Structure 1
C-alpha cells in the first residue's frame, strides 16, 4: 500500500511539473503581434495665453493682463509687447510666471486709440489682445 501511495504521489508531481513546463512553453511560443518600435516622445509646444480685464479704458488708468504659460517651466520670464505701427515693441513690463505657470500683470497705457498687446516669453508668443484707450 505504501508503495502505491508513493507511486501515485510521484505520478502527480511528475504530471504537475510536465504541465507547468508545457504551460511555460506555450507562453514563450505565444504568437502575439510584434510591438511597434518605440517612437520618439512627442514634446508639447509651449504656449502663452493673454486676456485683459477691460476692453476700453481711460488714459493712464490701471488694468491687468493675465494668462497662463502652458508647457513652460514655472518662473519663466514673460514680457508685454505693444504693436506700434507694423512692429511689436517690448514695453518695460515683465514678470516671472508663478509656480502654477500663470501670470497677472498691472498695465498702464497712455497711447490713445486702439492698442494691440501680446505676451512673449519662453520662445513663444500669445495671441494679441485689443484694448481701446480714450
Structure 2
C-alpha cells in the first residue's frame, strides 16, 4: 500500500471515529465513475445592449445611450463608462432599468475626439459604442 493511500485510509478512520460512525469509513464507494443524477443549471447571465442617439456631437452637447437589460432587476442602476487610456472610468451618468427591461441615460462629453463608451451594471457590460466629440 503506498503512502498516500495509507494517509487517506487513516484520515477516513479518524473522521469516522470523530463523528461517531464505524462502518461508513470502510464502505466501498458505489459507482465512482457513474455520472451525477442531479444536473445543475447555470443562472441566466445578465446582458446589456447599448446604442447612442448620435455618433457625432459638439462638446458638452447632450445625447442618450439607450438599450436593453436582460437578467438585471428592475430599478437597478446602469452606469456609463468611458475608456480613458487603458482604463474604463465610470462617468456620473446613471439611470435605472425600467419594468420593461430597458434604460436610457443622458450623457454629456467634453473630451474631444473619438470616445469609446459602454454601460455596466453589476457584472454585466454592454458592447462598446463610439461617439465623436467635435
**Structure 1 residue 100: Cα displacement:** 1.2
Judge conservation of contact 1:75–1:101 (CA < 8 Å) in 2.
no
Deviation >4 Å, runs of 4+: none
What are the Cα deviations for residues 61-111 of structure 1, in whole angstroms up to 9, with x where unaligned?
111000011111111111111001111001111121101121011111111
TM-score (norm 2): 0.69
For structure 1, the residue ranges without an aligned partner over 5 or more in a row are 1-35
Judge conservation of contact 1:116–1:131 (CA < 8 Å) in 2.
yes
* RMSD (Å) for aligned C-alpha atoms: 1.4
Aligned pairs, number: 99
TM-score (norm 1): 0.69
What does residue 42 of structure 2 align with? 42
Matched position secondary structure for 1:104: strand
Structure possessing the higher radius of gyration over alpha carbons: 1
